[in-house]
Structure 1
Amino acid sequence: MKYRSISIGIFLIIAVAFTFGISCNKATISERKVKHTILIGLDAFGSRGFQKASTPYMNKMIANGAIAPFARCLLPTNSSPNWTAMLTGVGPLQHGVYDNDWERDKVKWPPVESTDEGVYPSLMNWVKVQIPSSKVNFFYEWKGLARLFDLSQVDKVYLGEKGDVIFEKAADSFFEDLPDFLFINIDEIDHYGHQDGHDSEAYFNAISHYDSIIGHFIERLEAAGLMDETLLMITGDHGGIDKGHGSTSLNEIEIPILLYGADVKKGLVIDKPCYIYDVPVTLAYALGVTPPDASIGRPILEAFDPNSISAPYVPMPNISPTKGFFPKPPVMVEIKVDDADAKIYYSLDGSVPTKESGIVYNAPLQLNNSTLLTTVSYKNGTYSRPEVNQYRIGNGKEGKISWDYYEGDFLRVPDFKSLPIKKSGMSNEFSLKEIPHRPDHFAVKFEATLTIPEKGKYTFFSRSDDGSKVLLNGKVIVDNDGSHSSQIKNNQVELSKGNHEIEVWYFDDTDGEGLEIQIAGPGIPKQIITEKFIIESAL
């Protein structure tokens, strides 16, 4: 199979520009280093989820292998462009897969290079062309995956409906066929992210479940003496926030890349930037295979250099229950970290704790009042990223914010005056936590009176999935409208001391939901608007 270059007008210009722009990153090709390569791609396996979940087998891999803990995927943080990047070594500008709406008959721009099927050549194609005797197996759970690649020469392709079964069949195929490259796609973790949230126990438990399955697979490889001639990599296509992904937060962008096996330096934490498109180029490097000239990925050579210096890394704490509104006290909070040697420090005043200023966590905390809890893990002079959770604890009474609930198929915040109200009630904050609603296709209008303690500049933040608007005294001050995954918009306004009428308009389309309205101003650190800012319903 030969690849065809696209040489039409602007695409040639783009390709040439990228050739010059990325020539310093061109892959270094070497002699073949391993007999086998395995790539395990876990959908929605973000850096945050990996740090918080219990992953004893992957932790063992890291201790005896390498990790880039904060690699980055591509924008948009959707599955189709990122799975394509993970196996092609290029981004949407080169491979042409612009978002999840892409189909082979819905092309906005062609790939800069393509196979006979019109898609950018993937690692599977590189291996089959350059190693004619090679074997390549492709096992996947997400039905939309195969459309992204030319699998015409792949030796074994299997689509399954249950991740455990797919993984078992893929592992068995490895021992039967001893392929040069085995790819395993697991979609199940993403399901729990959308259903329960990317900071939920169900999501973390799904990661832990596949950690165990991966660990048993590695034990089989080691027992068979195959790990010394095999390079195994694990990564994800994106992370997530709330119950969605597709936007620009670090929670969605950052993914871990784990390397384990032949010639990988033990215990290495890679500090330099790594990207999702580095994954196939690294596997190609290990196989002695050359990526196409358009490749923008680079092999992660640090993982194979015995002189590489390890960067410090400590996983962040996992707090349960996570932030949110609780109708009445007490709220019992448990904090843990997936490192037996790490200590946990916390603060209750919004400051980032240190071992000097923080409180050592030894037992579950009982919270009786609304609290801004900030935690870090600490080990060998290194702190994790801080984890901030705002607990809003009510007094068991009805809230002061009035809301009306509507249903319909919306792509923008609707004209509420033209819609029938399905139900109404009172809540403690501008969120969906206290509002009974169906899974998709609904809208909510909130109204209340906001009290401002002193004159000054105040910033209002709206994080929503899908669209929202914040109005103050009848004027839109934050416009976060449209059908989209969780994203934040903000705006600063000058306010007088006293009362101001506030409205929040929200709608949900599909694939995730969420709403948070925050405020920051003189003497007020950024925080969710709670009952302390509300004096009464506007109605």
Structure 2
Amino acid sequence: MPNSKHVIIFGMDGCRPDALIQAKTPHIDRLICEGAFAPTAQTGVITISGPGWSDMLTGVWGAKHGVTDNSFEGANYEQYPHLFQRLKEKNPSLVTASIVNWKPINEQILRSADHAVGTGSDAKVCEETVRYLQSAAPNVTFLQLDDVDAAGHKHRYAPDVQGYLDSIAWNDSLIGEIWGAILARTHYAEEDWLILVSTDHGGTEYGHGQNIPEHRTIFVIAHYSDGTRLEFPAEVNIVDIPVLVARHLGVEIDPDWNWDGNLAIA
């Protein structure tokens, strides 16, 4: 019988939590209402996508994974590989998928996903994910949406900028469509889903990359289909996300992995 435990991670690139709260996001609001929300979580000190997604997907900070910019030069993924590889070390039967707008995630970080698609479009990420979930049963799926970051660069990263808020609302509609596809799965009633939503960095004005609160403060949302309600501690970090994934899938975290995530949850 296939593993009934599943995780899907929505990565909303460049989404400030204060703007997320201001935007019209009925689907994300429901995830928060029924789940757990950490609106003051922290990403690493280098607040750009290469390091940020590496933090999230390896479970270690930049001092270990070595990524300092979007060229990925100096990456130490051999010693600190991505989450999917670690999960399969413990349970090779797990099925992994990564469907992203920003293609370097699959080309550089998640290089051995069972199902990997780089679309160049948030709408196509949604379309491909809905199609894939109709016929496949991935145990862990990572999705990256890029339009919020693009809107920040175009309109400004701020909770009072309508163009930025509109892009967050757009991403919420895609999340809602994918969530609907999960709920419509033939065997959903027998499945145990964890939905995670987060981001890689924030921003100010038309950019990001500084070690300041507006760039480092992110959010983490955790929603369990069985009604489990987490209580996040005061300190939550981007490197804690692999811990949540492994725990839900019943994968023992090996001390030799040397993960920096050590989330203590109630």
The two structures have a TM-score, normalised by structure 1, of 0.45
1:151 aligns with 2:115: no
Residues 309-352 of structure 1, C-alpha deviations (whole Å, 9 max, x = no match):
xxxxxxxxxxxxxxxxxxxxxxxxxxxxxxxxxxxxxxxxxxxx
Change in 2 beyond 3 A, CA 1:35/1:265: closer
Give 1 or 2 for the bigger CA radius of gyration: 1
Letter in 1 for 2:58: T
Higher relative contact order (CA 8 A, sep 6+): 2
| CA positional deviation for 1:247 | 0.7
2: distance between equivalents of 1:188 and 1:252?
Answer: 17
1: distance between equivalents of 2:228 and 2:57?
Answer: 23
Does the Cα contact within 8 Å between 1:34 and 1:286 map onto a contact in 2? no
User: Which residue of structure 2 aligns with residue 162 of structure 1?
Assistant: 121
1:141 aligns with 2:101: yes
Classify the secondary structure of the residue corresponding to 2:142. Answer: strand
User: Which residue of structure 2 aligns with residue 56 of structure 1?
Assistant: 26
Letter in 2 for 1:279: I
2: distance between equivalents of 1:209 and 1:39?
Answer: 17
Change in 2 beyond 3 A, CA 1:196/1:119: farther
Change in 2 beyond 3 A, CA 1:201/1:173: same
1:196 aligns with 2:155: yes
Q: Which of 204, 221, 224 does residue 261 from structure 1 map onto?
A: 224
User: Which residue of structure 2 aligns with residue 249 of structure 1?
Assistant: 212
Q: Which of 108, 112, 131 does residue 91 from structure 2 map onto?
A: 131
Greater alpha carbon shift after TM alignment, 276-285 vs 257-266: 257-266
Does the Cα contact within 8 Å between 1:57 and 1:214 map onto a contact in 2? yes
Letter in 1 for 2:223: Y
Change in 2 beyond 3 A, CA 1:299/1:270: closer
- Equivalent residues, number: 258
Change in 2 beyond 3 A, CA 1:119/1:173: farther
Report matched runs for 1:21-40 at 5 Å.
Answer: 35-40=5-10
Residues 450-490 of structure 1, C-alpha deviations (whole Å, 9 max, x = no match):
xxxxxxxxxxxxxxxxxxxxxxxxxxxxxxxxxxxxxxxxx
Change in 2 beyond 3 A, CA 1:263/1:95: farther
Does the Cα contact within 8 Å between 2:134 and 2:181 map onto a contact in 1? no
Change in 2 beyond 3 A, CA 1:34/1:248: farther
Residues 6-36 of structure 1, C-alpha deviations (whole Å, 9 max, x = no match):
xxxxxxxxxxxxxxxxxxxxxxxxxxx9611
Change in 2 beyond 3 A, CA 1:201/1:35: same
2: distance between equivalents of 1:234 and 1:210?
Answer: 11
User: Which residue of structure 2 aligns with residue 172 of structure 1?
Assistant: 131
| CA positional deviation for 1:84 | 0.4
| CA positional deviation for 1:122 | 1.1
Identical-residue share of aligned pairs (%): 29
Classify the secondary structure of the residue corresponding to 2:248. Answer: helix
| CA positional deviation for 1:119 | 6.2
2: distance between equivalents of 1:71 and 1:34?
Answer: 29
1:297 aligns with 2:261: yes
Letter in 2 for 1:182: T
Report matched runs for 1:94-493 at 5 Å.
Answer: 94-103=64-73, 107=74, 111=76, 114=77, 118=78, 120-152=80-112, 154-199=113-158, 200-224=161-185, 226=188, 229-263=192-226, 265-266=228-229, 270-292=232-254, 293=256, 294-299=258-263, 301-302=265-266
Classify the secondary structure of the residue corresponding to 1:277. Answer: helix
Letter in 2 for 1:71: A
Classify the secondary structure of the residue corresponding to 1:289. Answer: coil
Residues 387-409 of structure 1, C-alpha deviations (whole Å, 9 max, x = no match):
xxxxxxxxxxxxxxxxxxxxxxx
| Gapped regions of structure 1 (runs ≥ 5) | 1-32, 303-539
Residues 397-422 of structure 1, C-alpha deviations (whole Å, 9 max, x = no match):
xxxxxxxxxxxxxxxxxxxxxxxxxx
Does the Cα contact within 8 Å between 1:84 and 1:148 map onto a contact in 2? no
Greater alpha carbon shift after TM alignment, 220-229 vs 60-69: 220-229
Structure with bigger helix share is 2
Greater alpha carbon shift after TM alignment, 163-172 vs 76-85: 163-172
Q: 4+ runs of 1 displaced by more than 6 Å?
A: none
RMSD over aligned Cα atoms: 2.1
| CA positional deviation for 1:264 | 5.1
Classify the secondary structure of the residue corresponding to 1:192. Answer: helix
Classify the secondary structure of the residue corresponding to 2:111. Answer: coil
Classify the secondary structure of the residue corresponding to 1:161. Answer: coil
| Gapped regions of structure 2 (runs ≥ 5) | none
| CA positional deviation for 1:222 | 2.4
Classify the secondary structure of the residue corresponding to 2:238. Answer: coil
Does the Cα contact within 8 Å between 2:6 and 2:192 map onto a contact in 1? yes
Change in 2 beyond 3 A, CA 1:59/1:300: farther
Classify the secondary structure of the residue corresponding to 2:104. Answer: coil
| CA positional deviation for 1:148 | 3.1
Letter in 2 for 1:197: R
Change in 2 beyond 3 A, CA 1:301/1:264: farther
1:89 aligns with 2:50: no
| CA positional deviation for 1:150 | 5.0
The two structures have a TM-score, normalised by structure 2, of 0.89
| CA positional deviation for 1:133 | 1.7
2: distance between equivalents of 1:34 and 1:99?
Answer: 37
Does the Cα contact within 8 Å between 2:52 and 2:201 map onto a contact in 1? yes
User: Which residue of structure 2 aligns with residue 12 of structure 1?
Assistant: none
